[in-house]
Structure 1
Amino acid sequence: MNSPSGNRPLWLGTLLALLLTLVPGAAAVTAAPAPLNAAPPGVLPALQQWEGGRGTVSLDRDARLVVPSGSSEKFVGLAREIARDAAELTPLRLRVTVGTPRRGDIGLALDPDADYGKAKPALRAESYRMTVADGRVRLVAGGEKGAYYASRTLLQSLLGSPGRQTLPVGTAVDWPDYAVRGFMLDVGRRYFTPEFIKSYLKWMGWMKMNTLQLHLNDNGFVGKDGDWSKVQAGFRLASDNPEFEGLAAKDGAYTRKDWDSFEDTAADSGVTLVPEIDAPAHALSFIRFKPELGLNNGNSDHLDLSKPESTEFMKSVYREFAPWFRGPAVHIGIDEYPREYEAQYRDYVNTIAPYVRGLGKKVNAWGSFAQMSGGGAGYDKDMTLNSWNNGWYGPKGAIADGYDVINSNDGLLYVVPFADYYHGQGLDGRWIHRNWAPNIFGGDQNLPAQDPKLLGAMPAVWNDLTEADYTEFDVHRLVEKSFGALAEKMWSPTAAGTDYRAFLDRLHTVGQGPGTGYLPDTLPKPDPADLAYGRDTAASSSETGGLGPDKAFDADPKSRWASKYTDDQWLQVDLGTARHLGSARLSWESAYAKDYDLQVSDNGTDWRTVAEQRGLTQAGTQTLDFDDVTARYVRMKGLTRGTSYGYSLYSFEVLAAGS
């Protein structure tokens, strides 16, 4: 009989195999082990703890997502939601089933007693473990919210893999450092569509943020003529109760059906809604409805608290809408009332707070007692306070008076779209990532990290400019600049380290998540070959704080760096480590350089010139090629300005050799 490989007898192959086992050194060479997965999956927020293994696990397109027998319908529903999200983001078409996971499966289970690292007891329900090993994935969480967050880590990990089906072997243990990881949106002054709000709830869940506060009523500012009748005002809930007919804003309000859709989406996204109905200040919408309740015969946005009817009316509003709200808390506002009415204000607070609790809700409020009364003595203590201004009621004073606080510091965390105060162009994501944490309030008000009375943080968007022409998508563009950095720092201020470029790479990979197609992705998209994007920068000078050196390295074509008006100015970037370079691309604003050198350095001190530009006659984009060089620092050294202004660059890209 002939062998399949030709005329060689079968016994000869057997003999050769035996000889190989007997001859030293003749055995087959063992394959080198796969490298250790030292780097954690590129998720956002960054993982608290990662122990890497070797190799990967690739999931089949129709892999099973398995929950234990006896799981509640709600938990099975969560598994189905995860499967839908996976289908939107990856090639996977997971099959949800009940039973015991096997090789090739994703297991999803609850175990309140599992090891969740350094998670606080109160936050174990939001904590989870993800183990990738032995050809399978196991997600275990302390509660259903933790299971949801585990699924976000699973999906984000897949997004960073080839084909979006592969995971690195290893174990992640993750938990939040703070209970409140929030965001506040002022819809009172400007209507936002239900689609926008539901998309934000999905986006927040994707980023493991867990609290959305909606500021449901407010108004603009009175003009010099003092006529409040000309000022925009809005209350955004529309009841079908005839008692409140005419209270809802005519330019947009949310029905009970709308609000139910918000609550449903929030529940599916691991987010709690906190509705805010603000009084006795910011109350013009209520005074329009009942002019007799306002100060100055209704020409005011302050309720007249000398009239018992004012307090009774606000009770009726809370009573009407409290049944809409599924979350545990209602925010009652109580900020910025005139101090001259301090006694009436205190009586109002001490009446409304227990009344709202009597409706089954915890009470949140804006901290205002230092400005109103010199402190919290005599005020209801069973409230959680947003510490929004260190003068009105700083966190140290509020905590000393017995309150739990949430960081909503105005100087650090307020965005007022397109205003020339606070952060009119959005928060600086780089600054947030490098310098901020929930315990940072500024001045002498910073708290110890994870102070037990500090619940977390809640940045805010205030639409003060009621007459300005902008859209909800314009607001989104401002918010998106820092949203990821805020989410990261509220989950864990330290887990991600300080490499902002690495953070940006993760942010671009994970995107805004499933169910957010209504929201445009407005983040600038850098050239993949640009080594300078998001790196540390320095400059000899900046014309203003908003024209700093980082603006030339943020991939935003609308931002720019600008120097003082002298010739000897420079702009540099630290690439983080020595890189192999071959060219640079500079995009000049109208204040261009006539003559400049492109220089590199290994240490940021000793410079060598690799390219020269002489006699430039107009602004625009220039690409400077040079012989390949290895260096860590790159700078533009101005020699002669092309105009009477300084130097100004929209972008300064440093490109890898051969790119």
Structure 2
Amino acid sequence: MVGRRRFIAQHLALYAGTLLSAALLTACGGGSDTTGGTASVAARSVEKSAAQTDMGRKMDCSIPDETLPVGAANVAPAVVPGIRTWHGSRGTWSLSPTSRIVVEQADAGSLWRVGTRLRADLLEVTGLDLPIVVGPYVHPGDIGLSLKPCPGTTQQIGDEGYTLSASNSIILRANHERGARGKDNGLFYATRTLLQMLMLDGRPAGAHRTVPQGYAIDAPLYPERTFMVDVGRKFADKGFLEAYMKFMAWYKINTLHLVISGDLLDRTPNTQTGIKAAFRLYSHNPNFTQQPLSYDGLYYSKNDWNELEDVAEAYGITIVPEFDTPGHSQAMARAFDPSSTNEGLDTTNPATLRYVERVWDEFLPWFRSQKVHIGGDEAGDTASIQTFQNNLARYLQSRGKTVEMWQDTVSGQSNYDPNLVIQNWSTNGPLPWTTPKFKWINSSGSFYVTPNAGGYEESSGFLGDSFYGTDAGLPFTHPTSDGEVFDWFGNTAFIGATSTYQPAGGQIALWSDMTYHNPYTYEDLAHYVVKDVIPAAGQIWWNGQRRDPAGAVIPYATLRTSVAVLQYGPGVKDVAMFSGSPLSATAPAFSDPPAYVVTPDYPAQAGVLSGLAVPYNCRSCGGGEVGYLGHYGTGDGTLTMTIPVPSAGTYLLPIYYVMGTTVPETALLTINGAVPVTVTFPLTGGGSGGTSSTNNLSGTDQEVIVGTFVTLQAGINTIKFSNPTTGMPNIGGLGTPLLQPSR
């Protein structure tokens, strides 16, 4: 009788555990299974869980043998960035069709998100679709995920580090309570390392199976590892930003700094006129008046921003928004005072601060980052500016934000709020105090990339070899006119003279200063000049220059062999700019920049010419642009297109166009036969309106983009352009309409 009761109790306990696993799967999103739906995943998971106690081993803290002599142990995997500490064992761990991803029950909710990302990436890398199960046991070939660090490793791995133990199963661990910014970055980075190890196993793409056995303890040198994009002067499509966040995360870069506002200058010789003001966020809140506007009508709505934040969260990225004030802020100056022609804000007017605070208040709920940036770039050094920046910083700090600012006015001043984080870009060394006053980030002007900027900094292309080491022996010359030492490690003073005054990290900056005269797209030229440095920056900021067992620096040329295999990582196989421009195993010469070509989503072939419009092909003008729908003389020439959208609503409609005039042009836009609206097309900065000898322009027509808000109906919409005067530009096509929120 006693034996029977024990038998029943054991089976009831097993049944209860099975139900708990199924319930956790449902709560954690088990419907992500691509082979049979929620029921299939739950059934497989429960079936596996029921057998764990018989076949698996506890997800404990045992590690592979660390005592093997040199030569007998597996060498450190050639991942990028490299692993901080590696203890090699013998043999390999192998993935098989029966392998599983096992998440510990205590943190199943948090672990499920990381497991789901890993599952999708493993499918791409290995061709195997692994089930995710909940439980404490792992089988040979399994991958275990845990947020309970092993004894003695908590401080070593810190906020974003991890341990990886590879024997007959793999256990990945990170700190739960110390996850950076509330994210499980450490565990996510552990999965990136595992995926890279698999990709380097020598097998064909999509069929990787093995990794060397061993034990890794890994954590970054610097918490701030940033790529900055100037979307104020040049609007970046969401697709570009989302693809780059995935690229950054593959090499463990954790911050995307977006400069939301900016003024595009006419840099004709002897003039620095701010002619195109932009502010890239648009609120549909009717109670928010004095909305800063962009010259080209292109914005991110709240829906757009949420989509960017979702991708950032999935890939361990923090998005830091910058509203540059008080300089480079003509859009806000005009919104505050429509009669203003100033490039910057008047900091002597107390109402200016209240207005800027109101702009921040409107958009702060959009931002998930604890960090924001208040600019200060090239703003001058007056008492009123210092007071303005301090007050704005303290206002945002009172709302729980860490505030960053450019260093321009700080270098010679110590009266700024000590809680500011300073991005140091123009001084050849740390901020000038014997004892640290500010936390600072190495954002050296030598790490700037500005496409089409001639000899300025890295405008022609940024070599990973240079950032990793020096320019010695490279077939490439960097500008030296500013006197800054270029590479990260060669400039000891810029890193910090003492260990107590090291930077919090570094930043590569992609500026857009020259798009007025020489337009380009992010997908072609910007990607071409900046892509090579991303893996190198990830390596340097994560654990510095790689060294061999004897302590000698491993050249970046060796790391390149891994980069050529690893490429842009999983999840981006459909990104054309990546597939069409693979990362190189050798240092690029940057001697073949891509031609400027834009192919709109709704291209010329979808248009219907009528009236006096005639076909026009800008390829003949020498600029390499796409064919255009039509150009217009005097009279009533019109151009009609149709576009489909899934639902009715307000959309931001991107319009590609080309013009060679010296004054803005307009067109009437008619949607589905409704009352026409006037669209103003800003100057492109190029074309037949001038020559390079007189106004620094290219002399060829250039295609650019303008946006306007329109109301579209579900299904097919008829879009008609017509010229009310003699000055309508040539229309190249329409971009994908972007649905806007109701408010």
Give TM-score scaled by structure 2 length.
0.61
Aligned residue among 311, 329, 343 for 1:283: 329
Q: 1:183 to 1:465 in 2, by over 3 A?
A: same
Aligned residue among 108, 113, 122 for 1:86: 122
Helix, strand or coil at the partner of 1:189: coil
* Maintained 8 Å contact 2:463/2:533: yes
Q: Distance in 2 between matches of 1:461 and 1:452?
A: 26
- 2:545 aligned with 1:494, yes or no? yes
* Maintained 8 Å contact 1:50/1:173: yes
Aligned residue among 112, 127, 136 for 2:169: 136
* Maintained 8 Å contact 1:439/1:447: no
Identity score, percent? 30
How far the C-alpha of 1:78 sits from its partner, in A, is: 1.4
Aligned residue among 262, 270, 278 for 1:234: 278
- How do residues 147-546 of structure 1 correspond to structure 2 at under 5 angstroms? 147-161=187-201, 162=203, 163-222=207-266, 231-242=275-286, 243-244=288-289, 247-249=292-294, 250-291=296-337, 298-339=340-381, 342-370=382-410, 374-376=412-414, 378-390=415-427, 394-397=429-432, 400=435, 402-410=437-445, 412-420=446-454, 421-435=456-470, 442=491, 444-448=493-497, 451=500, 453-467=502-516, 468-473=518-523, 474-495=525-546, 497-516=553-572, 517-518=574-575, 519-521=577-579, 534=586
Q: 1:350 to 1:164 in 2, by over 3 A?
A: same
How far the C-alpha of 1:117 sits from its partner, in A, is: 9.2
* Maintained 8 Å contact 2:464/2:534: yes
Q: 1:166 to 1:178 in 2, by over 3 A?
A: same
Q: 1:108 to 1:308 in 2, by over 3 A?
A: same
* Maintained 8 Å contact 2:469/2:487: no
Q: Distance in 2 between matches of 1:44 and 1:223?
A: 40
Aligned partner of 1:9 in structure 2 is none
* Maintained 8 Å contact 1:335/1:367: yes
Q: 1:502 to 1:218 in 2, by over 3 A?
A: same
* Maintained 8 Å contact 1:434/1:498: no
Aligned residue among 120, 126, 141 for 2:160: 126
- Write the letter of the residue equivalent to 1:477: Y
- Write the letter of the residue equivalent to 1:206: W
* Maintained 8 Å contact 1:116/1:127: no
Q: Distance in 1 between matches of 2:134 and 2:486?
A: 41
How far the C-alpha of 1:171 sits from its partner, in A, is: 1.4
User: CA-to-partner distance for each residue in 1:374-398, whole Å, 9 max, x for gaps?
Assistant: 322x22211111111107xx52326
Aligned residue among 44, 49, 55 for 2:80: 44
Q: 1:442 to 1:494 in 2, by over 3 A?
A: closer
* Maintained 8 Å contact 1:283/1:302: yes
User: CA-to-partner distance for each residue in 1:286-319, whole Å, 9 max, x for gaps?
Assistant: 1232345xxxx62221111122222111111111
Q: Distance in 2 between matches of 1:70 and 1:57?
A: 26
Aligned partner of 1:110 in structure 2 is 147
Q: 1:317 to 1:446 in 2, by over 3 A?
A: same
* Maintained 8 Å contact 2:118/2:191: yes
* Maintained 8 Å contact 1:236/1:248: yes
Q: 1:46 to 1:443 in 2, by over 3 A?
A: closer
How far the C-alpha of 1:524 sits from its partner, in A, is: 6.0
Listed as ranges, the gaps of 5+ residues in structure 2 are: 1-68, 177-183, 471-484, 548-552, 594-743
Helix, strand or coil at the partner of 1:425: coil
Aligned partner of 1:30 in structure 2 is none
User: CA-to-partner distance for each residue in 1:444-470, whole Å, 9 max, x for gaps?
Assistant: 544147645521111111100131221
Q: Distance in 2 between matches of 1:330 and 1:500?
A: 34
Aligned partner of 2:714 in structure 1 is none
How far the C-alpha of 1:45 sits from its partner, in A, is: 0.5
- Write the letter of the residue equivalent to 2:186: G
Q: 1:475 to 1:223 in 2, by over 3 A?
A: closer
How far the C-alpha of 1:199 sits from its partner, in A, is: 1.4
How far the C-alpha of 1:331 sits from its partner, in A, is: 0.4
- Write the letter of the residue equivalent to 1:368: D
Q: 1:460 to 1:556 in 2, by over 3 A?
A: closer
* Maintained 8 Å contact 1:67/1:109: yes
User: CA-to-partner distance for each residue in 1:124-176, whole Å, 9 max, x for gaps?
Assistant: 1311111111x211112224211100000111111111231111111122111
How far the C-alpha of 1:501 sits from its partner, in A, is: 2.1
Helix, strand or coil at the partner of 2:356: helix
Aligned partner of 2:186 in structure 1 is 146
* Maintained 8 Å contact 2:232/2:262: yes
User: CA-to-partner distance for each residue in 1:517-554, whole Å, 9 max, x for gaps?
Assistant: 3242465677xxxxxx74xxxxxxxxxxxxxxxxxx64
How far the C-alpha of 1:115 sits from its partner, in A, is: 4.3
Q: Distance in 2 between matches of 1:117 and 1:75?
A: 18
Q: Distance in 1 between matches of 2:272 and 2:509?
A: 25
- 2:114 aligned with 1:68, yes or no? no
User: CA-to-partner distance for each residue in 1:187-245, whole Å, 9 max, x for gaps?
Assistant: 00001111111111111211111111111010122456999987122111111123346
Q: Distance in 2 between matches of 1:331 and 1:466?
A: 23
How far the C-alpha of 1:95 sits from its partner, in A, is: 1.0
* Maintained 8 Å contact 2:468/2:487: no
Q: Structure 1 stretch 159-168 or stretch 432-441: which is displaced more? A: 432-441
Aligned residue among 86, 90, 94 for 1:54: 90
Q: Distance in 2 between matches of 1:332 and 1:213?
A: 12
Helix, strand or coil at the partner of 2:140: coil
Q: 1:505 to 1:396 in 2, by over 3 A?
A: same
Q: 1:113 to 1:52 in 2, by over 3 A?
A: closer
Q: 1:554 to 1:458 in 2, by over 3 A?
A: closer
Q: 1:478 to 1:138 in 2, by over 3 A?
A: same
Q: Distance in 1 between matches of 2:503 and 2:273?
A: 40
Helix, strand or coil at the partner of 2:519: coil
Listed as ranges, the gaps of 5+ residues in structure 1 are: 1-32, 527-532, 535-552, 560-659
* Maintained 8 Å contact 1:525/1:555: no
* Maintained 8 Å contact 1:398/1:405: no
C-alpha RMSD over aligned residues: 2.8
Q: Distance in 1 between matches of 2:234 and 2:299?
A: 10
How far the C-alpha of 1:35 sits from its partner, in A, is: 7.4
- Write the letter of the residue equivalent to 1:466: T
User: CA-to-partner distance for each residue in 1:476-522, whole Å, 9 max, x for gaps?
Assistant: 11111211111100101133533222110111111111222324246
Q: Structure 1 stretch 501-510 or stretch 445-454: which is displaced more? A: 445-454
Give TM-score scaled by structure 1 length.
0.69
Q: 1:36 to 1:522 in 2, by over 3 A?
A: farther
